[in-house]
Structure 1
Amino acid sequence: MTSAQPAAPTVSGPPLPLLHAPWTARVARAEGVDLDLVHGWMQSPHIDAFWHQAWPRERWYEEIAGHLAGDAILPVLIDLDGRPLAYIEVYRVTRDRLAGHYAHLPHDLGVHIAIGEADRTGKGLGRSLLRALAEGLLAADPACTRVVAEPDVENGPSLRAFEAAGFRPAGQVVFPDKTAALLVHPRAEEDLPR
């Protein structure tokens, strides 16, 4: 007689962050205005320099629709005072390539961020959004004890915004397409990776 192995914990897909005014978050749709917005933003040089996803509209349709059909990545649009500001991808680290690069916990959440219009960057909006986003994700998933990000080490403005928003450096991760800074926004000091 063999003993059964304990089942791995079941973790839901990533939640929509719970944001407070002046921020609002909603799930991005794979068609219409949402698709036009994300596709247009991704063509912008300031985003393409680090996302490398200046894809045709049809490819973005497939990308967003694929995320919506799965439980690994939630595509989100963020508005500031009712005006679209950023495209965010909220992901479960345990279902992401980042999982093999640090001692993640089952409920860890990660974020990718693209502020859509270049003239809205460099004004402190990114750091304000990142702080609200981290707090909103921790509020949306009480089992989550840390929100992580892995921006390119060459993206100085992004690194500064994450750190100003309370994300802490936790090393570097080498991916085939970039060397990333692992940044962690813990719920409490003891939640930092060791």
Structure 2
Amino acid sequence: MTPHTRIRRTVHLRRGHTFVWRSAGAADAETIWGWWTAPVLTYWGTAPRVAKVGPPPYGPETVRDYLALPADRLGVEPVVGELDGRPVAYAEAYAKKDSLLAGVPLLEDEARGSHLLVDPTDRVDRRVVLEVVVDAVDWAFETWPAAQHYIGDPDIRNRSMVNLHRMLGMRQVAVVELPHKTACLVAVSRTDWADDRARIASLVR
């Protein structure tokens, strides 16, 4: 059994906001379940996640059990993002080689990515979302020096997130059929991200 890494990362955003990434835990289960099952959310893929826990019925306790699964079975590191102390995002950081994208031969196995969900029940400022995604890429490249690409795999129906990744200079490398969604696989290399960092910084000023 492989335990999860305990994660905490603090980011000071523009306009005086503080954003904290921290490991998701049992106390977050009800909030996360509310996000996963929000009526406006049609592309998250709740079913394959809760199926890892067991048969229905499902509810907040299912999320609690999901988060308690060992990292080697879960295949991701679940984190919650708090804006000025208020939970507004959930993410799952992963290595390509440990994900459903492992068989996609377009990028190095050391590529890192994240599944990102911003609170669908309450409007979060788009500029904040942009800053959070920028930090997710910075975080990946800082934490895993061997990773030569950062990847995102938003559902093609999630046009807002697809466009946001492209705004940040990520190129579409494939449309991938996964069991629970059709993913727009986007990527940016470590070199391109570094070379484009000044332009990217200007987007969040």
TM-score normalised by L of structure 2: 0.74
Residue 103 (structure 1) shift: 3.3
Q: 1:152 aligns with which of 152, 155, 162?
A: 155
After the TM superposition, list the runs of 4 or more consecutive aligned residues in structure 1 that deviate by more than 6 angstroms.
none
Whole-Å separation in 2 of the counterparts to 1:113 and 1:107: 19
In structure 1, the partner of 2:145 is 142
Q: Does the 8 A contact of 1:94 with 1:104 survive in 2?
A: no
In structure 1, the partner of 2:69 is 66
In structure 1, the partner of 2:113 is 110
Q: Percent of pairs identical after alignment?
A: 24
Whole-Å separation in 1 of the counterparts to 2:169 and 2:118: 18
In structure 2, the partner of 1:88 is 91
Whole-Å separation in 2 of the counterparts to 1:178 and 1:70: 20
Residue 122 (structure 1) shift: 6.2
Whole-Å separation in 1 of the counterparts to 2:136 and 2:171: 15
Whole-Å separation in 2 of the counterparts to 1:166 and 1:182: 13
Whole-Å separation in 1 of the counterparts to 2:107 and 2:94: 13
> In structure 2, what residue type is equivalent to 1:62?
D
Cα deviations by residue, 1:76-130 (Å, 9 ceiling, x for unpaired): 0112222211000001110111111233323211211111143324633322211
Whole-Å separation in 1 of the counterparts to 2:107 and 2:24: 27
- In structure 2, the CA distance between the partners of 1:90 and 1:121, relative to structure 1 (3 Å rule), is same
Specify every segment of 5 or more residues in structure 2 that has no aligned partner in the other structure, as ranges: 13-17, 48-57, 195-205
Please tell me whether residue 100 in structure 1 is matched to residue 103 in structure 2. Answer: yes
Specify every segment of 5 or more residues in structure 1 that has no aligned partner in the other structure, as ranges: 1-12
> In structure 2, what residue type is equivalent to 1:73?
V
Cα deviations by residue, 1:105-161 (Å, 9 ceiling, x for unpaired): 232112111111433246333222111111111111222221111111121111112
Q: Does the 8 A contact of 2:102 with 2:109 survive in 1?
A: no
Whole-Å separation in 2 of the counterparts to 1:85 and 1:190: 26
Q: 1:178 aligns with which of 165, 178, 181?
A: 181
Whole-Å separation in 1 of the counterparts to 2:193 and 2:86: 37
Please tell me whether residue 78 in structure 1 is matched to residue 81 in structure 2. Answer: yes
In structure 1, the partner of 2:46 is 53
Whole-Å separation in 2 of the counterparts to 1:64 and 1:103: 30
- In structure 2, the CA distance between the partners of 1:15 and 1:137, relative to structure 1 (3 Å rule), is farther
Residue 70 (structure 1) shift: 4.6
Q: 1:23 aligns with which of 19, 22, 26?
A: 19
- In structure 2, the CA distance between the partners of 1:83 and 1:41, relative to structure 1 (3 Å rule), is same
The DSSP-based 3-state class of the residue aligned with 2:147 is: coil
Whole-Å separation in 1 of the counterparts to 2:43 and 2:128: 18
Cα deviations by residue, 1:21-66 (Å, 9 ceiling, x for unpaired): 132111111x12x11221122121233x111317512221222111
Equivalent residues, number: 176
Q: Does the 8 A contact of 1:167 with 1:185 survive in 2?
A: yes
Q: Does the 8 A contact of 2:11 with 2:20 survive in 1?
A: yes
The DSSP-based 3-state class of the residue aligned with 1:50 is: coil
- Which fold has the larger relative contact order, with Cα–Cα distance below 8 Å and residues 6 or more apart in sequence? 1
Whole-Å separation in 2 of the counterparts to 1:67 and 1:112: 18
